[in-house]
Structure 1
Amino acid sequence: MSPGRKASRPQPPSFANKQSILFAKKHRKHRLWLWVGGLFTLLILWLAAVMIYQTHKPLPPGLSYESPSYKVNQVHFWYDLTHADGTENGSQKEQILPRILQIIEESREFLVIDMFLFNNYTHKGQYFPPVSKMLTDKLLLQKAAYPEMEIVFITDEVNTNYNSAPNPLLQEMKAAGITVIMTDVDKLRDSTPVYSAFWRTFIQWFGQSGKGRIPNLMASNGPKITARSYLKLLNVKANHRKLIMNETTALISSGNVHDASAYNSNIALEVQGPILADILQTEQAAARLSGTGPLLRKEPVFSQANERSAGEPLEVRYLTEGKVYKYTLEAISSAGKGDTVWMGMFYLADDKIIKALLEASKRGATVRLLLDPNQNAFGRDKIGIPNRPVAMDLNRRSDGKIDIRWYNTTKEQYHAKLLFVAKENGRSVILGGSSNFTARNLDDYNLENNLWVTLQRDQPLYAEMEAYFTRLWNNDGADYSLPLDTYQSGVTWIKYMVFRIQKFIGFTTF
């Protein structure tokens, strides 16, 4: 500094400069918020687009299938019944698994099995019959006895805990030369759109495999699960079909061959004839979801043998996915004065089905619903949703004209999915198989399969259906069913509100 000169002091910024600096800061902040807002808007638009597309995208080829109508001489009806008898697990009459094992034993050319639940995982302290191991051993014996016979086992990823752990029973099958196909249900439409859009955008790319560290909530004795597997589980969808077929016959069931389901009450319908080719075609479509080529190496030749039965032939169709919905609504809508609508159902929650039942009752049809109380799930307690609030609603809206009874469950489920519209005049209708009467099961979200049958009153199957329902309804020989008020209480209204909220947001198992 030169002698005699004072040090210059920094001058405070002028008012104009201050305003300029503040303006620049505000401008930068504004631009930042514009960027954040723009990105957020793009994300919302992206998620909305994913939701719309994934809930409305075209179904893969061969799904939602309706076969031509075929005339057959016989349809066999099988059922499992567990009823309360004072013991812990009740008394059981079992027909379906013995028939499945017999079909395996009768097979010589091929076997195709499609089974939703197939594992031996249970909760600690529980015991169930080892039915999944029984089926595995039977298949292994048949493959050893007839090495050239093709056996295909199609199932759902739930049985590997959504890829968290291998299923030892399926591993045994693979080692023996049995083809095991894990269905890729991601190609199906989404039924929980808000969550599914988030899952598809941010999570699905990381897969599910790896060392599981989270306790298995589905079965505490089962393997631990990765967090990514739980996140996939919440994107609820499934190959929910239950089928076994060979070169001569096909059995369509409501029941899983699954240890924790072994005591459940179920139904099955068995059919033969040309319709078997249609059934195999729908299984090929399910397998194609996983990139599988032809199910069988050579085109099967189906036996035309069909047992003779008294009366006019029955008419049958094979239905999958949303086509079950179509024929269910048609059947209930055909019921009028003098007709009886019988329904045995694990889950009843679909609004169109509920409306059709109310309208059938108004037309003078007798409507009788035998429902599961939704209190048990594989030995664990549930809170009665959806059936209890739905029953309350139906009873109120029909002024008590729709008759409702609960199956008298112990630790099992009344897991039937059966509709029987008994006509006073004309052909009666039967629909049975895997489909609960819920949007998830009927509206082209899950893979499902049902057999549709029409018949005259003089057919033995008509008498079998009538005997099945009246036995359970009237408690012939045991306490099979309970009156409506058994599972109705002051909190049922609260459950109804919970049920409606769950349906609105779509975050349900029904």
Structure 2
Amino acid sequence: MTFKLLIALIVLAITTTSLYHSLKALPQGLAFDGKEQPLINPRLLIDRTLHFGNEEPRLDQEIFAEIFDMIANAQHFVLVDMFLFNDSRADGSRQIPLARQLTDALIARKGAHPGMDIIVISDPINTVYGGTTSLHFQQLRQAGIPVVETRLGPLRDSNPAWSGLWRVCCQWTGNSASAGWLPNALGEKPVTLRSYLALPNFKANHRKTLVVDSADGFTGLVTSANPHDGSSRHSNIGLRFGGPAVADLLRTERAVLAMSGADTAAVDNALGSLPDSGSGSPDTIRIITESAIRAAARDIIGTAAPGDRLDLAIFYLSHRSLLNALKEAHERGVDIRVLLDANNDAFGLKKSGIPNRQAAMELNRAGITVRWCHTEGEQCHTKLLVRRDSNGSAQLLLGSANFSRRNLDDLNLETSAHVRSDSNSDTVLKASGFFEEQWRHGPGDVPVMSLPYEAWADESRLRYWQYRLMEATGLSTF
């Protein structure tokens, strides 16, 4: 009887822990829903990989070139928040040492201006949750640059089937960067069992942002690109901007520092010199994070009218409310095109195609045109929604967030930018031009950028319901 009571108490503890951490209040400053600010000095940035048959692929990259330029011209302040910041890579493909380049750029700027405030925020996945060390983080810290590995515990649990047990049994045990004995799936140094036990929590600081000051004032950047060697061939998108929206971006990063128990003084000082509002541009930008991104996406899709066009290029598409919103918009007569990664490759490993092939099947059956990015080992990692209305107005939504439960339901940390402009603005023309190029297909088009739905179609009902179960329960990485 005592044994049964003990088991019952353990089950109760795990269940209540799981429920609490799935439903608890968010840390202050998350799910940030910024107000519309004037869009000042915008610059849309694009990374793409072009394939020319048997020739070496051509990498056209703008995002990190811009990031390095922004850091090189910073005067007093730099804040970087990047999800993947490591040099792991897949064998046999041309890749760029982005992690090393970013580390060197930050250290060089700190060396040139020792009094400069430079802050790096990243995700603990880069040290496999404390089970190994990061040479880049060590070198940054030795140069006097604080590196904050985001404290993920305060976030809601995205995989309650595991995280309740994890919080009761394992999270208290600590980890060691020198006691690893298991093969490291994310790098070369061995890691501990505890690192692998932390992985199924499936939560992350998935943001990719930068804030710097310069002689021209503060500038922000929101992107989908990581300083990760294995990601250096991916297609990505980013937006650089100035003005009062930079203060909003900085406020969202202050929330991450506070949640992680880190010093916020440098950010507070920077915020003290930034304007809260401004004027000078008819176009606007709104900084949004976590579930505010979902609300913006639903509004962009849900208010589109017959004659308007929606173009979506995204790495993961699985969120039920957005899939339903797309189908409803199609039924209203909105012209919709969806360009997806086939979810076939992940840093040299083959994937199952879940969830995109299942989402594509659903959209295709509803009559929505779906195509696949033509990739050869890299990923179509862009997160971009373009809306162009029949009256000439336009909206963009871009940033770190995939259209998935984990990215949009206050589980991961995410940052996106919502832009309102017109169809003939430089920013919208470049975004829509990028989509048109990625949508391009043969015959006669070189390079071929996309493939028809049939190329990666998966009509399996079993895998469809597997996707639905994974999306609903959190038993997935998307």
Q: Are residues 1:207 and 2:174 paired?
A: yes
Shift of 1:305: 13
Write the letter of the residue equivalent to 2:469: I
Q: Match of 1:350? A: 319
Match of 1:84 among 48, 51, 60: 51
Match of 1:187 among 124, 147, 154: 154
Q: Match of 1:49? A: 16
Match of 1:409 among 375, 388, 395: 375
Indicate the SS of the match to 2:14: helix
Go from structure 1 to structure 2 and tell me whether the alpha carbon gap of 1:40 and 1:298 turns closer, same or farther (over 3 Å shift).
closer
Write the letter of the residue equivalent to 1:320: T
Indicate the SS of the match to 2:153: helix
Shift of 1:504: 3.6
Shift of 1:381: 1.2
Larger radius of gyration: 1
Identical residues among aligned pairs (%):
36
Shift of 1:466: 2.0
What does 1:116-135 correspond to in 2, within 5 Å? 116-123=83-90, 128-135=95-102
Compute the RMSD of aligned alpha carbons.
2.0
Q: Match of 2:384? A: 418
What does 1:381-396 correspond to in 2, within 5 Å? 381-396=350-365
Match of 2:184 among 179, 202, 216: 216
Indicate the SS of the match to 1:186: coil
CA contact (8 A) 1:89 1:410 kept: no
Go from structure 1 to structure 2 and tell me whether the alpha carbon gap of 1:88 and 1:211 turns closer, same or farther (over 3 Å shift).
farther
What does 1:65-84 correspond to in 2, within 5 Å? 65-84=32-51
Q: Are residues 1:139 and 2:133 paired?
A: no
Go from structure 1 to structure 2 and tell me whether the alpha carbon gap of 1:127 and 1:320 turns closer, same or farther (over 3 Å shift).
same
Q: Match of 1:474? A: 440
TM-score by length of 1: 0.88
Go from structure 1 to structure 2 and tell me whether the alpha carbon gap of 1:294 and 1:439 turns closer, same or farther (over 3 Å shift).
same
Indicate the SS of the match to 1:41: helix
Shift of 1:84: 2.0
- In structure 2, distance between residues paired with 1:434 and 1:299: 26
453-462 or 267-276, larger mean C-alpha shift: 453-462
Q: Deviations over 1:130-172 (max 9, x none)?
A: 1110111111111111111111000000111111111001111
Q: Deviations over 1:286-333 (max 9, x none)?
A: 01122112151761224899998xxx6111110011111111111100
Shift of 1:502: 1.9
Match of 2:211 among 245, 253, 261: 245
Shift of 1:40: 2.7
66-75 or 181-190, larger mean C-alpha shift: 66-75
Q: Are residues 1:435 and 2:401 paired?
A: yes
Q: Are residues 1:458 and 2:424 paired?
A: yes
- In structure 1, distance between residues paired with 2:265 and 2:410: 23
Shift of 1:383: 1.5
Match of 1:277 among 244, 247, 263: 247
Gaps of at least 5 residues in structure 1 are 1-31
Match of 1:259 among 224, 229, 234: 229
Q: Match of 2:310? A: 341
Indicate the SS of the match to 1:234: helix
Q: Deviations over 1:272-291 (max 9, x none)?
A: 10111111111111011221
409-418 or 209-218, larger mean C-alpha shift: 209-218
Q: Are residues 1:158 and 2:128 paired?
A: no
- In structure 2, distance between residues paired with 1:489 and 1:507: 21
CA contact (8 A) 2:91 2:348 kept: no
Go from structure 1 to structure 2 and tell me whether the alpha carbon gap of 1:88 and 1:168 turns closer, same or farther (over 3 Å shift).
farther
TM-score by length of 2: 0.94
Counting matched residue pairs gives 468
Q: Match of 1:109? A: 76
Q: Are residues 1:296 and 2:263 paired?
A: no
What does 1:225-236 correspond to in 2, within 5 Å? 225-236=191-202
Write the letter of the residue equivalent to 1:466: S
Q: Match of 2:331? A: 362
Q: Deviations over 1:40-97 (max 9, x none)?
A: 3322322221121101101111111111211224422111011222348622111101
